[in-house]
Structure 1
Amino acid sequence: MSLPPGFLDELRNRLSIGQVVGRKVMWDQRKSNQGKGDLWAPCPFHQEKSASFHVDDRKGYYYCFGCHAKGDAISFVRETENVGFMEAVQILAGEAGMTMPARDPQAQQKADRRTQLAEVMEMAVQFYRLQLQTGAGAQARDYLAGRGLGAQALERWEIGFAPPGWQNLWDHLTGKGVAEDLILGCGLSKASNQGKKPYDTFRHRIMFPIRDARGRAIAFGGRAMDPDDNAKYLNSPETELFDKGRNLFNLKPAREAAGKGQPLIVAEGYMDVIALSEAGFEAAVAPLGTAVTENQLQMMWRVSPEPVITLDGDTAGQRAAMRVIDLALPLLEAGQSVRFAMMPEGQDPDDLLKAAGAPAMREKIEGAMPMVQLLWQREVDGKVFDSPERKAALDKALREKIMQIKDPSIRSHYGQAIKDMRWELFGTKRDTSGGGGARRTPWLPKGAKLPAQVSTKASALAGGALLEDHLREAVIVAVLVRNPLILNDFYSALERMQCSTPEIDQLRTALLRHDADESLADKIIADIGEEPLERIMGHAHVRITPAVRRPDNGDLARMCLAEEFAKLTARRGHAHEVEDAIEELTSDVADERLTKRLAQSLAAMNDAGRQDGDDRAEYDTGDNGARISKDERSAFDALLDRISFAKGGGGH
């Protein structure tokens, strides 16, 4: 329907946006200036304690400096009442004393029918409530009393009872003169396939009215009293009033409670919501017999930026959580997410409240885990990652999920959080088994043997080898700091690298924990300070490494790292073989296989070091023993020749 010119302007002129908004917020008297129409309050669209929500009553608009919500009186009613544009205009027109323009006959007829359907639904609410007080409702009253619901709770939640029988409600409504098509249109009765009178949809059930964001009764949920009934809970069918994927049970009261600072809690069923609300958690809602939909999630976010999903402590509850994760990932925005409160195994919120009371539930809500943590838990629980392939599969699965996030900033933070949790799972940990604080060895590939043991380290030969190891480790760390864009290519090798000193291990850990981008060095300094990095970069062996002196994140750095990792792994593997040989020589089991193993190990170490011979094709040795690139040496010699030629008078 199109409104006549000037109608909206007249509506805005008649209304004070301060009065419209004032019904939902509490003005900050210290910050507001009522006389000038300068009004401030905590924002009704997101939870906050400071007054960042500004209303300019003279200009007729609002703006939140926290969540950036903005608009006029119409948009405010649309967002807070969860109604469409025309419904918002109609609400405000009624308050302003303006008559809505006549609609076209078809639209008017449709609006009139929805009004009639809503009136019939209210008649059904009253019928069911009266039936609960009759003799037929005695069993239902006893059941509700056993669930802890007294008379005041029954009144507050308008709980009723649909008695046994096929046409109780039908006969009541038709006896009141209600048209049959309206009863059927409300989903209160169903047409008979046998040519008989329509029969009631709900029979022998406790009835819970479902109201929309404006408080209109639009559907029912019925809990079966017959234990043999196939459907324990039954919802109204979808009608012109009711779309189960676009509504939430208890939305209107929950929104009001959330506006006062209570966390929005999402439970599974009606009784959970009622139990939560009666225990003081009034901002509680539930989906209507279906998994959470995108529309329902958007409705939750309009009420609270971080709704808390309470999940039953069983397999079905876990599956429900995973569906919410998959639904929410592409929709995440800054400050807008979901948290999860896991109930004890075998319990729902109602059970927990009865067993341990409101403090236990409050502890669960306050300790609700962020979505990224549950996403990680889903991918790792019950799985063993004892091979590179399994670790790679985990990385791939998590990467695919994270890539669904559209916001690049959130995607980056998720990546960092996953990286931190991955490090906690796979990173080197301390041995708490009484081994004197020795480091637990992470998974090692074949050939990457343990470093020399204490007895071997005592020798002068081992001392030289340890120094060599330390220098190679320093080069590896320094190259990665200077060439961070290739870190992901060597992530697994770095993860497995045994460090000879705590300082190297500290830098290795920092490299593994942070994203590989151009600001990696700054992140490491912020993490562990400048001194460890300066000491590593101060090694002469490190300073002359080409990939450190000339960072390019390219082939030079990759070749350098591949060579250093290969030499490090081969030397440590050979050291381990020598150690084993010493032990076997003192026993009675030594044979020719020992000699063969040592020869193979030595050959592997020589092969890894063969690059040294290749280096001579690319490098010369300077007077100080340092390696100098032949290209750089040639360029330097040519420059000296030009200088000498110029001094000799040959220059211009």
Structure 2
Amino acid sequence: MSLPPGFLDELRTRLSIGQVVGRKVMWDQRKSNQGKGDLWAPCPFHQEKSASFHVDDRKGYYYCFGCHAKGDAISFVRETENVGFMEAVEILAGEAGMPMPKRDPQAQQKSDRRTQLAEVMEMAVQFYRLQLKTGAGAEARAYLAGRGLGDRALERWEIGVAPPGWQNLWDHLTGKGVTEDLILGAGLGKPSNQGKKPYDTFRHRIMFPIRDARGRAIAFGGRAMDPNDNAKYLNSPETELFDKGRNLFNLKPAREAAGKGQPLIVAEGYMDVIALSEAGFEAAVAPLGTAVTENQLQMMWRVSPEPVITLDGDTAGQRAAMRVIDLALPLLEAGQSVRFAMMPEGQDPDDLLKSAGSGAMRDKIEGALPMVQLLWDREVEGKNFDSPERKAALDKSLREKIKLIKDPSIRSHYGQAIKDMRWDLFGAKRPAAIGGGPRNTWTPKGAKLPAQSSTKASMLAGDNLSEDHLREAVILAVLIRNPLILNDFYGALERMRCSTPEADHLRQALLRMEAEEGLQDQLIEQIGEEPLEMLFSQAHVAITPPVRRPDNGDMARMCLAEELAKLTARRGHAHEVEDAIEEMNSDVADERLTQRLAQSIAAMNNAGRQDNDDSAEYDTSGNGARIKKEERSAFDALLDKIDFAKSGRDT
């Protein structure tokens, strides 16, 4: 059976020989550098203890310095599985998700035609290069010299020029005996709609040859010399040789440079790639006039696990970055991602190199942002999150994006990174905790201040402080023992003010956790065992319900909702008491203060009806609110102080 042209090339592009060989060997971690695709192991073909078997994952070949076995992924499967060539291809095609082609009796004929088309393309390369050296290329030479390209660069990149006129290349190729069918099939000519002789595809343009991973000329990119031309850049049409979504400009040289340790840089156009390479960044490639495709991204990852996308610092560049992110998220694997180097506004890599030099570009590459950072920036830039609804919309949008990641480990790490950035955005602007909590946070203008020492000493405030501490411990313990409900109470936990630094430390750690089994182990890894031991050693925490049966999740939710409601009501009441004490010596104390305190106590009692207060004795106040007799006494004592203060002012 003959395989269609390009099938094996596509198979080798999709597969990682490191993964194929890795099923049969144990890599030597001290000698291997997996980030660069440089892998070493004891040879599977002969008995040895040293790691003399070398795999170059970027080039797709293996070689043993002991027994001299060598080959690619196909030959490795043939030797280790003891199968024939076609069976080895079928095994690898199955792993790569490529259906085996049906029998094609004309495959050899197609292969011969592709060879002929490639030969015609080489003839066109030489024609355009020759034209650049003639009088017809004077304008193009001047332009290229102005872009900083000397004779050596012109030779290296095989740059040429298509002169003005309709049939320059056509006449040249037909004069060499090339058939019209091959010229049209290579995308070098177009048939006339007016019944005239076909005409050249490229006219009055600087020509950049596009070569595939094997180094064959398969297409051209042409830059218009006429400033009034509607198409500044024009690529060859898709042909039997050229699929623009499956190729990259400068792929073969870039792969070799990346194999020597250079970062793979993805630029937007030909001139950017040439400028980068001439400045020493030789592992540079560019998509061919389109947004980055899935196939192109897979090709980049075969060259480097973390290609750096350089984007213009404008709105279009930002949009291009977001398209790459949306494309890459479902394809991410461990150690395989994308980073982004944003150019200064209004500049591309070529501009930056000319204005600031290679050092500035190197700084941009080394400081390239991880994909999760741009994902976050897209969702928050220029937006105001001054309401719970807006924060919830942000959370929903980010969750939807993270769900696209198939790898559970990467998805978990993205969720953690998003939580950290969310904390940096919202967590740093918290008011100081009520009841003497941490004071190293910003307090907004007009916010309630923590209770002073004199207030803490009072009966009401002192009782609330101790009870608050107990409730905080219960809330934290319930969440730790029931991690699957953490997301349901994330907002409430974020707003909760803790009365001790130890409790607040636990709360902040929880906000950074993923809502999944094993949360307690995550906490121990992050903050150590001692804080959890202190928490669970408290007698009142022992009653917190862990989820051992499906219905216990609802019980834990009810427990949390109730405790949070009580804590909120009691904290509100503490504020009212603080206000009352402050207003006793002011001119604003009047009957409205009495009414506010009564309403506060009523709210606190309503929130606490689920307490073990069945034995408590209640009174009913004038406004109908239920109030414990012991709290009524404290309330009356406070009112007496207010009356005394007022009478002192009146006299």
Q: Which category of TM-score, normalised to the shorter sequence, fits these structures?
A: 0.7 to 0.9
The whole-number CA distance in structure 2 between the counterparts of 1:26 and 1:379 is 35
Give the corresponding residue for 1:44: 56
Aligned to 2:396: 396
- 2:507 corresponds to which letter in structure 1? R
Correspondence for 1:72: 75
Q: List per-residue Cα deviations over 1:624-649 (Å, max 9, x = no partner).
A: xxxxxxxxxxxxxxxxxxxxxxxxxx
What SS does structure 2 have at the residue aligned with 1:310? Answer: strand
**Tell me, what secondary structure is at the counterpart of 2:56?**
coil
More divergent stretch after superposition (147-156 vs 363-372): 363-372
Q: Cα 1:443–1:104, aligned 2, differ >3 Å: closer, same or farther?
A: farther
**Does the 8 A contact of 1:542 with 1:548 survive in 2?**
no
Instruction: Note the C-alpha offset of 1:443.
Output: 13
What is the CA–CA distance in structure 2 between the aligned matches of 1:134 and 1:439, rounded to whole Å? 72
Contact 1:551 1:557 in 2 (8 A): no
State the one-letter code of the partner of 1:425: L
Any unmatched runs of 5+ in structure 1?
Answer: 4-16, 64-69, 77-84, 87-102, 618-652
Q: Which residue of 2 aligns with 1:375?
A: 375
**1:608 aligned partner, one-letter code:** A
Percent of aligned positions with the same letter in both sequences?
Answer: 78
Aligned to 2:422: 422
Unaligned runs of 5+ residues in structure 2 are: 4-16, 22-35, 80-87, 90-102, 433-437, 617-651
Q: 1:560 aligns to what?
A: 559
| Bigger Cα displacement from structure 2, 499-508 vs 37-46 | 37-46
1:73/1:559 CA distance change after superposition, 3 Å: closer
Kept after mapping to 2: 8 A contact 1:45/1:304: no
Partner of 1:534, secondary structure, is helix
1:410-429 superposed Cα distances (whole Å, 9 cap, x missing partner) = 22222222222222222245
How many Å apart are 1:210 and its aligned residue? 0.4
**Aligned twin of 1:547:** 545
- In structure 2, what is the equivalent of residue 258 of structure 1? 258
**Alignment-mate amino acid for residue 470 of structure 1:** H
Question: Displacement, 1:290?
Answer: 0.2
* In structure 1, distance between residues paired with 2:518 and 2:583: 50
SS in 2 for 1:344: coil
- Number of aligned pairs? 559
Q: Which amino acid aligns with 2:442?
A: R
Query: What TM-score results when the alignment is normalised by the length of structure 1?
Result: 0.77
RMSD across aligned C-alpha pairs, in angstroms? 3.7
Asked whether the equivalents of residues 40 and 53 of structure 1 are also in contact (C-alpha less than 8 Å), the reply is no
Cα–Cα, structure 1 residues 73 and 159, in superposed 2: closer, same or farther, change >3 Å? farther
CA offsets 1:180-239 (integer angstroms, 9 cap, x no match): 222111111211212222222111111100011111111100111111111111111111
Contact 1:27 1:41 in 2 (8 A): no
Structure 2 counterpart SS, 1:292: coil
Q: Separation in 1 of the partners of 2:122 and 2:113?
A: 14
Does the 8 Å CA contact 2:219/2:242 hold for their aligned counterparts?
yes
Per-residue CA deviation, residues 543-564 of structure 1 (Å, 9 max, x unaligned), is 4x34379998523332322222
Matching residue of 1:347: 347
By how many angstroms is 1:175 displaced? 2.1
| Distance of 1:32 and 1:393 partners within structure 2 | 55
The code of the aligned residue for 1:566 comes to A
Q: Which residue pairs with 1:365 in the alignment?
A: 365
AA of the residue aligned to 2:464: A
Q: Does 2:618 match 1:611? A: no
TM-superposed deviation, 1:120: 1.2
The structure-2 alpha-carbon separation of the partners of 1:415 and 1:112, relative to structure 1 and needing over 3 Å to count, comes to: same
The two structures have a TM-score, normalised by structure 2, of 0.78
From 439, 442, 447, the equivalent of 1:440 is: 442
Alignment of 1:402-413 (within 5 A): 402-413=402-413
Aligned pairs (5 A) from 1:77-226: 106-226=106-226
CA distance in 1, matches of 2:383, 2:333: 31
Distance in 1 between residues matched to 2:352 and 2:405, nearest whole Å = 34
Q: SS of the residue aligned with 1:207?
A: strand
> What residue in structure 1 maps to residue 299 of structure 2?
299
CA contact (8 A) 1:27 1:39 kept: no
Q: Which residue of 1 aligns with 2:518?
A: 519
CA 1:74–1:491 in 2, change beyond 3 Å: closer, same or farther? closer
**Separation in 1, partners of 2:541, 2:578:** 30
One-letter identity of the residue aligned with 1:499: C
Looking at structure 2, the residues matched to 30 and 527 of structure 1 have their Cα atoms a distance apart, in angstroms, of 35
Alpha-carbon displacement from aligned partner over 1:14-62 (angstroms, at most 9, x marks no partner): xxx9xxx9xxx99999989999898746642269xxxx97749869577
**Secondary structure of 1:345 counterpart:** coil
CA distance in 1 between counterparts of 2:497 and 2:193 reads 77
Against the structure 1 CA distance between its residues 589 and 473, is the aligned structure 2 distance closer, same or farther, given a 3 Å change threshold?
A: same
- Letter of the 1:264 counterpart: L
Deviation at 1:242, TM superposition (A): 0.8
Alpha-carbon displacement from aligned partner over 1:286-332 (angstroms, at most 9, x marks no partner): 10000011111111111122211111111111111111111111112
Amino acid at match of 1:72: S
